[in-house]
Amino acid sequence: MTPLPQLHFHPEYRAAVQSGRKQTTIRWGEAVEVGPVLLRFGDDPQGWPAHITRLEPFPLAALTDAQAQADGFQDRAELLERLRFHYPELPVDAQVKVVHFRLD
């Protein structure tokens, strides 16, 4: 059996994913596909089975407060701050992927 692809998260997002407050993740430069996936949080050996339901290519500059809130943040400004933390080389004209997922 082929292992599930993995989608890695910073451990601080675990509670937001578990509670359902975070149902998307925004990625830049990562290969992500629709289908089953194992969510991994930091070096936690336990993965959470999930399903990527939709991928939405989107310009970084056009991200909205609503998208930030679906990603577990208060607003667009907080989302952009966190994206720059995770992707220090993120250009202002980047095309990102809004990754929609659900826990299985």
Is 79 within 8 Å of 67 (Cβ atoms)?
A: yes
Q: What is the largest CA-CA distance in the chain?
A: 42
Q: What pLDDT sits at residue 1?
A: 66
Q: Which of 89, 95, 73, 76 minimizes the C-alpha distance to 10?
A: 73
The CATH code belonging to domain 6-103 is 3.10.400.10
| In the chain, domain spans | 6-103
Residues 68-93: b if buried by 16+ CB within 10 A, e if exposed: bbbbbbeebeebbebbeeebeebeee
Question: Mean pLDDT by 10-residue block, N- to C-terminus, for the chain (104 residues)?
Answer: 88 92 94 96 90 97 95 94 96 96 94
Q: What pLDDT sits at residue 46?
A: 84
Q: What pLDDT sits at residue 26?
A: 96
* Beta-bridge mates of residue 8: 40
